[in-house]
Amino acid sequence: MRISVAIDGPAGAGKSTIAKMVADKFNLMYINTGSMYRAITLIALENNVSYKDIDGLCKLIDDLDMEFQNNELILNGENINDKLTLPNISDNVSNYAAVPEVREKLVYLQRKMSEKYNVIMDGRDIGTVVLKDAPFKFYLTASPEERAKRRYNELLEKNIDVDYDKILEEIKKRDYIDSHREINPLVKAKDAIEIDTTSMTIDDVVNIISSYISNNLNNIIK
């Protein structure tokens, strides 16, 4: 039986960092679904394809070769991870991710990955849509201010000149778009364990998730 772990939550809640660490602990393939939507946004912007151009977007996606190697996304043979957190991508990703046809194509790819490997996925609709039957589901959250501070510090470390207030505004905007989109909005799965990471360290959250998985893993494998 394949093991699957679903981690959902809003932008900046620490999903990616925590999922990578849990993946290492349990030898799981880490699938960052958010980076997949960011990759679509990146390639669409580079090719001047609007999120309103459905046919153009679908053709772009069908022509892409997307895979994960060592927890990082490889697009058409190129490691593009450094480009995915740039402000221009963050400002536009929710619009592209809200397109039903885009979500349908990426959800299909994500499910195929989970059928082939033991996986941990993080995103906005993993526990509710992509891995609805996952035995382990977690919903990570934090205050908008804390999430904006984390993103601000992350960009500063990359020597990117950013404004905290603008990041906070964008975080709140993304929260609204993600939770109000018509197709697969961001919601907590009924059977997910919610963890507020606002005042917690990364290790604290990893330990909570890891302990839960360890204590229940044998029941899942049986």
Binding-site positions:
9-17
Please write down the long-range contacts of 70-79, taking CB distance under 8 Å and 24 or more positions apart: 71/20, 71/23, 71/30, 71/32, 73/32, 73/35, 73/36, 73/39, 75/39, 75/42, 75/43
Our CA dihedral for 35, 23, 13, 212, rounded to 10 degrees, sits at 150
Residues 6 or more apart in contact with residue 88 via CB below 8 angstroms:
45
Q: Which two tokens stand for residue 144?
A: 């908008």
CA distance 105 to 24: 28
Distance CA 64, CA 124 (A): 22
In the annotated binding site for ATP, the residues are 9-17
The rounded distance, in Å, linking the Cα atoms of 199 and 68 is 31
* CA distance linking residue 150 with residue 152, whole number of Å: 5
DSSP code string of 55-84: HHHHHHHHT--EEEETTEEEETTEE-GGGT
